[in-house]
Amino acid sequence: MAETLVETAYAKINVALHVRGRRDDGYHRLESLFVFAEDGDRIAGEATDDGAIDLVIDGPFGSGLEVGSGNLVMKAARGLQAYLGEQRGASIRLTKNLPVASGIGGGSADAAATLRLLTRLWNVRIDPQELAALALDLGSDVPACLASVTQLVGGRGEHLARHPVADVDGRPMLLVNPGTAVSTAQVFSGWDRLDRGPLDADSLEGLIAGRNDLEQPAIALAPAIADVLDALGQQAGVRLRRMSGSGATCFALFDGQADCADAADAIAAAHPDWWTMETRIRSA
């Protein structure tokens, strides 16, 4: 019987996201601190001998995804298989626990977890830089999701540096999504093209003083994001609350787990149609 291996596709959060300019290739020049939640989607798989890549999707948000060639899990699997010249295939199951198109890197994390899973399933060695290049072809956030540790990210996602910040790793965190999907392309097109300066990611205080330059254009598309931020701001023990990525998921960092748990209960009771996830920032 084939061995089943499992990887977690950890949710990605932009603690701050500064847009510094638009590049000639159409991408934006970003500065961001990525952290990762301890929780996320689940990727499980078994190696097969027929060369086929099969994907099954389940979970609370599984119905929002298609199994076809456009799925990032399929793209990652087939891209790695082709790059390696691998003759074996895989049977993969994605359990989708994170909302789709929600600014927390769900698809990117799924793709990165698939790459990690298949290198283990097929017992292959690949140079980390080669794997990162494959990841970047799949999406700007995928390289950072390979390691899923706190990183300073620049360019469009190709410049990565491990960047632990005192008093951040392990901190309680609440994620809230109002049930609204927003288009990343539309949010970026709404950016006012003003460079408001560099990111100070050397301390929690510096991050608190930072910003997400995509927050206002996202709110213009989905006003419910402002409602989520207001609700998070009313909770006790919040050190920082902000939108992640291009939205619509927002997050709050707390001083204590009890305050985080109380906030999760209060928001779920007041807004039962919103998605919430009580978690912690992953340490690695």
Q: What percent of the chain has pLDDT over 70?
A: 99
Exactly one of 39, 41, 110, 141 is catalytic; which is it? 141
Shared domain for 105 and 60, answered yes or no, is yes
pTM equals 0.96
Residue 186 and residue 147 share a domain = no
Last residue of a domain, one of 115, 132, 162: 162
Active site residue 262: no
Residue 64 backbone phi and psi in degrees, to 5: -85, 5
Residues 135, 70, single domain; the answer is yes
What's the number of domains the chain is made of? 2
User: Is residue 117 located within the same domain as residue 178?
Assistant: no
Query: 40-50 pLDDT, tens per residue?
Result: 999 999 999 99
What is the CATH classification number for the domain harbouring 46?
Answer: 3.30.230.10
Q: Which residues pair with 21 in a beta bridge?
A: 29
CATH number of the domain to which 274 belongs: 3.30.70.890
Please tell me whether residues 203 and 131 are part of one structural domain: no
| Residues 149 and 10 both lie in one domain | yes
85: tokens are 């010249």
Q: Is there a domain that residue 167 lies in?
A: no
49 and 139 belong to one structural domain = yes
Residues 73 and 181 occupy one common structural domain: no
Distances (CA, A) of 109 to 94, 159, 211, 240, 277: 11, 17, 23, 24, 16
User: Catalytic pick from 12, 75, 213, 259?
Assistant: 12
Q: Rounded to an integer, what distance in angstroms lies between the CA atom of residue 41 and that of residue 76?
A: 16
**Torsion sign over Cα 120, 112, 5, 52:** negative
Domain end marker among 96, 130, 162: 162
Q: 106 and 229 share a domain?
A: no
Question: DSSP of the chain, one letter per residue?
Answer: -PPEEEEEEEEEEEEEEEEEEE-TTS-EEEEEEEEEEEEEEEEEEEEESS--EEEEEESTTGGG---STTSHHHHHHHHHHHHHT---EEEEEEE--SPSSSSS-HHHHHHHHHHHHHHHHTT----HHHHHHHHHHH-TTHHHHHH-S-EEEEETTTEEEE---TTTTT-EEEEEE-S----HHHHHHT-----------SSHHHHHT--BTTHHHHHHH-THHHHHHHHHHTSTTEEEEEE-TTSS-EEEEESSHHHHHHHHHHHHHH-TTSEEEEEEB---
Per-residue pLDDT at 2 exceeds 90:
no
In a domain, 266, yes or no: yes
**Which tens digits make up the pLDDT trace of 56-97?**
999 999 997 999 888 999 999 999 999 999 999 999 999 999
Segment 144-172 shows an average pLDDT of 95
- Per-residue confidence band for 1, with pLDDT thresholds at 50, 70 and 90: low
176 & 149 share domain: no
Total count of residues recorded for the chain: 284
Q: 9 and 125 share a domain?
A: yes
Residue 226 lies in a domain: yes
What's the mean per-residue pLDDT of the chain?
96
Residues 43 and 182 in one domain: no
Cβ–Cβ < 8 Å for 113, 43: yes
Compute and round to an integer the Cα radius of gyration of the chain. 19
Domain boundary among 114, 130, 162: 162
- Classify residue 29: in a domain, yes or no: yes
Q: Quick check: is 96 catalytic?
A: no
Helix axes of 106-121 and 72-84: crossing angle, nearest 10 degrees: 40
Range of the domain at 228: 172-280
